[in-house]
């Protein structure tokens, strides 16, 4: 029996979800709440297998509630964000804070039950339009990661030496250029990467896969 807790401020939808789940074989609603202000305590007491969590609720918002739940150490309960929002920021925040799936409220009842079961079994169900957004979002992140920040080939070479731990003097020697030229290249690298130190430049080079 898959035990489900529902956190939804819309009373009509809340009751519809409760009725749908309770009248479906293999599912049982163990708690229904109009907000997620006490989600950590509620989940500790009820121990649901799956949580349906609305994003836009009075008081503590759904994503903040999700964050609180995960910070509390509860990583076992499967959380499905049930929402009308399919914008990139909401999706990214939900995934970042440990949501197991992201379902739009207009999802058909039979499909919703399928998604709950999928999450219970360890899957990551998403409405198709949301899945499309996720793929697009990660594609954009990947493309940004491959951005060379308009560094010239010479500046990229200097940055590679910085990553390897070379000093200005060593870079100048290996590249057969004056140390002042090295300083000039590094100044431009800092400006293009929007950093202020060698350590920041190296960190960004790794983070964004520049070299």
Mean pLDDT of 149-154: 89
Residue 79 pLDDT exceeds 90: yes
3-state secondary structure the chain: CEEEEEECCCHHHHHHHHHHHHCCCCEEEEEEECCCCCHHHHHHHHCCCEEEECCCCCCCCHHHHHHHHHHCCCCCCEEEEEECCCCHHHHHHHHHCCCCEEEECCCCHHHHHHHHHHHHCCCCCECHHHHHHHHHHHHHHHHHHCCCCCCCHHHHHHHHHHHCCCCHHHHHHHHCCCHHHHHHHHHHHHHHHCCCCHHHHHHHHHHCCCC
Q: What is the pLDDT of residue 138?
A: 63
Q: What is the pLDDT of residue 7?
A: 97
Q: Which domains does the chain have, with CATH numbers?
A: 2-129 (3.40.50.2300), 153-207 (1.10.10.10)
Mean pLDDT of 7-16: 95
Mean pLDDT of 100-106: 89
Residue 48's pLDDT band (cuts 50, 70, 90): very high
């Amino acid at each position: 029996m898959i035990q489900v807790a529902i956190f939804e401020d819309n009373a009509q939808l809340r009751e519809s979800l409760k009725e749908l789940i309770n009248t479906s074989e293999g599912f049982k609603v163990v708690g229904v709440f109009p907000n997620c202000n006490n989600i950590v305590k509620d989940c500790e007491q009820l121990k649901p297998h799956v949580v349906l969590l609305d994003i836009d609720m009075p008081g503590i918002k759904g994503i903040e509630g999700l964050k609180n739940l995960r910070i509390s150490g509860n990583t076992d309960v499967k959380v499905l964000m049930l929402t009308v929002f399919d914008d990139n920021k909401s999706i990214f925040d939900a995934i970042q804070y440990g949501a197991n799936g992201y379902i739009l409220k207009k999802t058909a009842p039979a499909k919703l039950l399928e998604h709950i079961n999928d999450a219970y079994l360890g899957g990551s169900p998403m409405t198709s339009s949301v899945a499309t957004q996720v793929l697009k979002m990660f594609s954009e992140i990947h493309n940004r990661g491959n951005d060379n920040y308009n560094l010239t080939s010479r500046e990229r070479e200097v940055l590679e030496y910085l990553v390897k731990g070379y000093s200005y003097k060593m870079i100048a020697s290996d590249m057969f250029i004056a140390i002042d030229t090295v300083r000039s290249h590094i100044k431009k690298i800092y400006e293009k990467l929007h950093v202020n130190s060698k350590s920041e430049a190296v960190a960004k080079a790794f983070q964004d896969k520049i070299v």
